[in-house]
Amino acid sequence: MLPPATTQYAGPMTRRRWIADTWTETSATLQGEQAGHLARVLRAQPGQVFDVVANGFLHRAEVLSASEGEVVFALKEQLEVEAALPVHLLLAVFKFDHMEWGIEKATELGAARISPVIARRTEKHLSQAAAKRVQRWRRIVREAAQQSRRSDVPLVDDPVALKTALEGVSAEKRLLLAETEQENSLRNELARETSRESQSVALAIGPEGGWTAEEMALFSQSGWRHVTLGPRILRAETATIAGLAVCAAMLQEP
C-alpha cells in the first residue's frame, strides 16, 4: 500500500526495516548506531517514511525528528509480515567465531529461537566464557534480523547445560541432528506431518566433538528422534545451515 500523499516517501532503496529500541503505542525510537546510520549516512529528515518494527509489529513510520543520537518516528499503519520459521535451535557451544557465523545465518534463515547449550564436549574455556558472550550473540541476531528484513528478532536464551535446555523445549517435533544416524533423514522426518501449519520443530546440533552417549540417551528420554543430513560429517555451523534450509523448504510457503 502506498503511503499517504502528505508524507515524503523515502523510496524502495531505503525501505530497509529498522528495529526500534524503544516504543509507545504511537511512536518508536532508534538510538545509538542505528540512529547514527539513519541520520548521518541516510540523511533521514522529518517527514520521510520508513518501515519500523516496534514491539514485534511492522509499521510504516514517519520520521518526526532525526539526530545522530536518536531518531523518533510516528507509527502509522501496521503492515503484514511473514512469520518466523517455527524452529527452535539447540546449539551446543563451539568455537565462537564459527558459532557466531552459524547464529547469523540461522537468523537469516528464519529460526525463531536459539538456545546455546553447554555440552559435555564443549571446550572448557568456551563453557566458561559463554555467559558473557550472550550479549554479543543477541546483537548479532538483531543485526542479522534487520539486514534480512525480518520483522522479529529471534530469542537467544542464556547458555545452560543440556538437561535444563531440554526442559525448556515445547516444540512438538524434536529432532537431534546426528552424524551417527544413517537412515532417518531430516527431510523424511519433517514430511511425516500432514499439516504444515501446526508443525513446530526443535533441532539440536552438537559441538565439534559431537554429543556424548550419555547426552544422546538424555535426548532419547525426552522424546527426541535422531536424524541425518547425509553421509558426510559436517561442521556444526554447516549442519546448522543445512538443517534450517531443509526446515525452510519443508515448512515454509514460498
| Residue 117 in contact with ligand SAM, rule: CB under 6 A | no
The Cα-based distances of 98 to 3, 95, 207 in angstroms read 42, 6, 11
Q: Which stretch binds ligand SAM (CB under 6 A): 36-44, 50-58, 175-183, 214-222?
A: 175-183
- Pull the grid cell for residue 174: 524434536
Least spacing, CB of residue 91 vs ligand SAM, in Å: 9
8 vs 185, beta carbon nearer ligand SAM? 185
95 vs 138, beta carbon nearer ligand SAM? 95
Of the residues 179, 193, 216, 245, which one makes contact with ligand SAM according to CB under 6 A: 179
193 vs 208, beta carbon nearer ligand SAM? 208
Q: Which stretch binds ligand SAM (CB under 6 A): 73-81, 131-139, 193-201, 208-216?
A: 208-216
| Residue 250 in contact with ligand SAM, rule: CB under 6 A | no
Of the residues 165, 229, 244, 246, which one makes contact with ligand SAM according to CB under 6 A: 229
| Residue 72 in contact with ligand SAM, rule: CB under 6 A | no
202 vs 239, beta carbon nearer ligand SAM? 239
- Pull the grid cell for residue 185: 533423514
Q: 32: left (phi > 0), else alpha (psi -120 to 50), else beta? A: left
| Residue 116 in contact with ligand SAM, rule: CB under 6 A | no
Of the residues 115, 146, 151, 228, which one makes contact with ligand SAM according to CB under 6 A: 228
| Residue 123 in contact with ligand SAM, rule: CB under 6 A | no
Q: Which stretch binds ligand SAM (CB under 6 A): 2-10, 13-21, 139-147, 177-185?
A: 177-185
Q: Which stretch binds ligand SAM (CB under 6 A): 27-35, 36-44, 174-182, 214-222?
A: 174-182
Give, in degrees to the nearest 5, the angle at Cα 92 between 205 and 183. 20
Q: How far apart are CA 201 and CA 89, in angstroms?
A: 9
Q: Which stretch binds ligand SAM (CB under 6 A): 41-49, 163-171, 190-198, 224-232?
A: 224-232
- Pull the grid cell for residue 197: 501449519
**Residue of this chain nearest to ligand SAM (CB atom):** 206
Of the residues 47, 56, 168, 230, which one makes contact with ligand SAM according to CB under 6 A: 230
Site residues for ligand SAM per CB under 6 A: 177-179, 205-206, 208-211, 228-230, 232-236, 239
